[in-house]
Amino acid sequence: MRAQFRTRIRLVLACIVFVALLILTRLYFIQIVHGQEYSQKADSQFASGGSGLFDRGSIYFTRKDGTLISAATLASGFLVAINPQTLADPEAAYMAIDAVASTTLAFDHAGFLAAAAKKSQVYIEVAHHLSDAAGQTLAAENIPGVEVLRERWRYYPGGSLAAQSIGIVSYGSGDVLSGQTGLEATYDETLSRSGNSLYKNFFAELFSNVGNLLVNAQDAREGDVVTTIEPEVETRLETDLAKITTTYSSQSSGGIIMDPSTGAIIALATYPTFDGNDLQNIDPQRLSNQLVEHVYEFGSIMKPITMASALSAGVITPQTTYNDTGCIIVDKARICNWNYKPYGVIPMQTIIEQSLNVGASWVAEQLGQTQFRAYFTKIFGQKTGIDLPNETDALIGNLFKPQQVYYDTAAFGEGIAVTPIQMIRALAAVANGGILVEPHLVSAIRLDSGIVRPLDWGEGTRVFSGTAARDTTVMMDALFDHTLDGGKAMIPTMSVAAKTGTAQLPTPTGTYYTNRFFHSEVAFFPSFNPRFIILLYTNDPKGVEYASKSLTPSLLDLTHFLIDYYAIPPDRGFATVTPSV
């Protein structure tokens, strides 16, 4: 009997200890994890429409050392509302509000007086986003008919930094604030908050859902977004893009810096851009992300894809030669090298190093239409799956036509159009040994419970043999050392593989302008075990014909910056790793 009694006592004590631990855990989450939300709720005694304070998860940049830097968060302050029925002196009220909120007033003087005259209404918001000091100053005046209320809103500490990638929050369907572009839209379900937990009675919150105290169903969905974007690298990229665009009066410029082995995007930007904190003055056209939503004919940076495809198919080797005549006729169309120069009998490397259109056409013909189509549709025939909204399909319909000229021109990047994210993904497959990776900007979700959930982006799909990718890299490496900037670009301690591209812009009638161009350039390094791949482009630059002039200075600037910033060790004179076949 005594033994049974002691057993029962122990069970009761164990249950009491277990419940106490659960209560303490719940108290921790309510008072520590969500303490700020409750405090801000207490500050606000009224919210229009019966809704609570705006709540949303954060988005973070990730510095190279792993430190998280806020990219999108919540700012808090005050809004001002008037009750026309109790507002005795509208003119005096306007002067008082204007004195502390002149830049945040929703109405001008006449508009304010018109709103104050609507005696049938009891609540009209007249100013938003007042600082704490301004709100407290106005509240202290205790003006009849004027209410100063706590509010929160979306705030981007970096201003325009990575704006098109981060996105914006605004009112969508159902008059609800939600993510409309960028990561704000893609991860809206993760970032959104129901807000219900902030309005429960304390003890109801304490004892409700006891079975889910540690990680409840809401916590499993709601959290913060941790990106792979490095803020210093993003800043440097945006600075270079702005310089390119203003120097050459381009329509726009863009760039991507990515880890070619994993698809993690370190920086992603276009110029002109916008500031997400100033929604009223945003040009709607700038909200679209050209890097995933627009397609372009990239020109000669497509040649490494053609070369790697033919090498992988086994129809050529690096030692294969052909007779370059400078110009050829294909299906009654004339195809010429950029300088119209015949090069005679030359090996494959010269096609890449001298960027020969006739050579790329010859390689396409060796590959044959069926195999050419198979490689290019595998690489460009589907979206990349990047975690940004509105990704566009490539335009490769010409590869399903019987005329050989379409394959010849596609071989040097004309007649087919792809997005910049598709282009860097394809070139990354050359850099990383033949794998088509899935580009992405988010590495993890940090749940409200405190748990960090890494995202799995898969291992990718093989499109080239390792040998073909390496042989193509050798050709691009030689271009950087011997040809780019007249051979002055070579870095004695670091191997870099590169390619430039200059494509004529298409006219509305289907022909090509002779004096308007699309410039692009790519580089990855170290060449045979790359840490980064960079893609730059500028659309319709003025006063410059070739990408080697418009983009190479910025490409070199970014290359040297990344080598120094990440302390990438030199690889010249060291053994290189041969990619697996």
What pLDDT is attached to residue 257? Answer: 98
Rg (CA), the chain: 30
Check whether residue 319 and residue 459 sit in a common domain.
yes
Residue 260 per-residue DSSP state? T
Residue 208 structure tokens = 């409700």
How do residues 138-154 score in pLDDT, each as one tens digit?
999 999 999 999 999 99
Q: Tell me, yes or no, whether 575 lies in a domain.
A: no
Residue 203 has pLDDT above 50, yes or no: no
pTM: 0.85
Q: Tell me, yes or no, whether 91 lies in a domain.
A: yes
The sign of the CA dihedral 133, 137, 142, 147 is negative
Check whether residue 138 and residue 265 sit in a common domain.
no
pLDDT confidence tier of residue 46, bands split at 50, 70 and 90: very low
Check whether residue 58 and residue 180 sit in a common domain.
yes
Residue 45 has pLDDT above 70, yes or no: no
pLDDT confidence tier of residue 244, bands split at 50, 70 and 90: very high
More confident residue, 50 or 550: 550
Q: Tell me, yes or no, whether 572 lies in a domain.
A: no
Average pLDDT over residues 292-314: 98
What pLDDT is attached to residue 205? Answer: 37
What mean pLDDT value characterizes the chain? 88
Residue 196 has pLDDT above 60, yes or no: no
**Identity of the amino acid at 280:** Q
Lowest mean pLDDT among 93-102, 383-392, 418-427, 490-499: 93-102
What pLDDT is attached to residue 195? Answer: 56
- Give the residue from 107, 102, 37 showing the smallest Cα distance to 76: 37
What pLDDT is attached to residue 102? Answer: 79
- Give the residue from 336, 333, 355 showing the smallest Cα distance to 346: 355
458/456 Cα distance (integer angstroms):
6
Check whether residue 223 and residue 244 sit in a common domain.
no
Check whether residue 153 and residue 15 sit in a common domain.
no
Q: Tell me, yes or no, whether 570 lies in a domain.
A: no
Q: Tell me, yes or no, whether 484 lies in a domain.
A: yes
Q: Tell me, yes or no, whether 176 lies in a domain.
A: yes
Structurally, the chain folds into a number of domains equal to 3
More confident residue, 282 or 67: 67
How do residues 83-133 score in pLDDT, each as one tens digit?
999 999 999 999 999 998 877 888 899 999 999 999 999 999 999 899 899
Neighbours of 258 (CB within 10 A): 29
- Give the residue from 507, 544, 555 showing the smallest Cα distance to 297: 507
The number of angstroms, rounded, from the C-alpha of 119 to the middle of its chain's C-alpha atoms is: 48
- Is 71 in a helix, a strand, or coil? strand
Q: Tell me, yes or no, whether 426 lies in a domain.
A: yes
Residue 523 structure tokens = 């580089």
Residue 414 has pLDDT above 50, yes or no: yes
403 CB-side CA count, 13 A = 12
Check whether residue 169 and residue 223 sit in a common domain.
yes
Residue 213 has pLDDT above 80, yes or no: no
Residue 324 structure tokens = 């370059």
Q: Tell me, yes or no, whether 279 lies in a domain.
A: no
Residue 241 per-residue DSSP state? H
What pLDDT is attached to residue 164? Answer: 94
What pLDDT is attached to residue 211? Answer: 40
How do residues 460-508 score in pLDDT, each as one tens digit?
999 999 999 999 999 999 999 999 999 999 999 999 999 999 999 999 9
Query: What DSSP string runs through 523-537?
Result: EEESTTS-SEEEEEE
- What is the span of the domain harbouring residue 3? 1-33
Check whether residue 267 and residue 201 sit in a common domain.
no
More confident residue, 422 or 22: 422
More confident residue, 217 or 17: 17
Lowest mean pLDDT among 237-241, 274-278, 301-305, 327-331: 274-278
Please return the burial class of 50, using the count of CB atoms within 10 Å of its CB with bins 0-12, 13-18 and 19+: exposed
How do residues 512-546 score in pLDDT, each as one tens digit?
999 999 999 999 999 999 999 999 999 999 999 99
Check whether residue 235 and residue 194 sit in a common domain.
no
Check whether residue 18 and residue 60 sit in a common domain.
no
CATH of the domain at 461: 3.40.710.10
Check whether residue 59 and residue 125 sit in a common domain.
yes
Residues with Cβ within 8 Å of 46's Cβ and at least 6 positions away in sequence, in order, are 147, 149
What pLDDT is attached to residue 501? Answer: 97
CB of 438 within 8 A of CB of 385? yes
477/349 Cα distance (integer angstroms):
10
Beta pairing, strands 327-330 & 333-336: antiparallel
CB of 536 within 8 A of CB of 252? no
What pLDDT is attached to residue 546? Answer: 94
CATH of the domain at 59: 3.90.1310.10
Check whether residue 383 and residue 498 sit in a common domain.
yes
Residue 201 has pLDDT above 50, yes or no: no
Check whether residue 269 and residue 173 sit in a common domain.
no
